Structure 1
Amino acid sequence: MAWVPLSRVRTHRTHGEVIGLRAVRDHMALRPLPETPYVVTQRHLRPVGKDCLVAFAGNLYSVPARQVRPRQLVEVRATKPQVMLHATIADTDGSTLLAAHPRAVGKGVRVVDEKHWDGLPDGKNRRVTTGDIVPQPRHEAPLGEEAGPLQALLTRAAAVSIQVGRRPLSVYDELTGTRPFTTAPTKKESS
Structure 2
Amino acid sequence: METERIKEQLKRLSLYRIAEIFEEEAAKASKVKTSYIGFLARLVEEEVLAKTDRSINARIAKAKFPQIKTIEGFDFSFQPSIPEAFIKELAELSFIGKAENVLFLGPPGVGKTHLSIALGLKACEKRKRVLFTYANELIEQLMAARVNGSFGKKLQILGRLELLIIDELGYLPINKEGANLFFQLISKRYEKGSIIISSNKPFEEWGEIFCDDVIASAILDRLLHHSHIIAINGPSYRTKEKMGATSNN
Structure holding more strand per residue: 1
Which one has more relative contact order, counting CA pairs under 8 Å at least 6 apart? 2
TM-score w.r.t. the length of structure 2 is 0.17
The structure that is helix-richer by fraction is 2
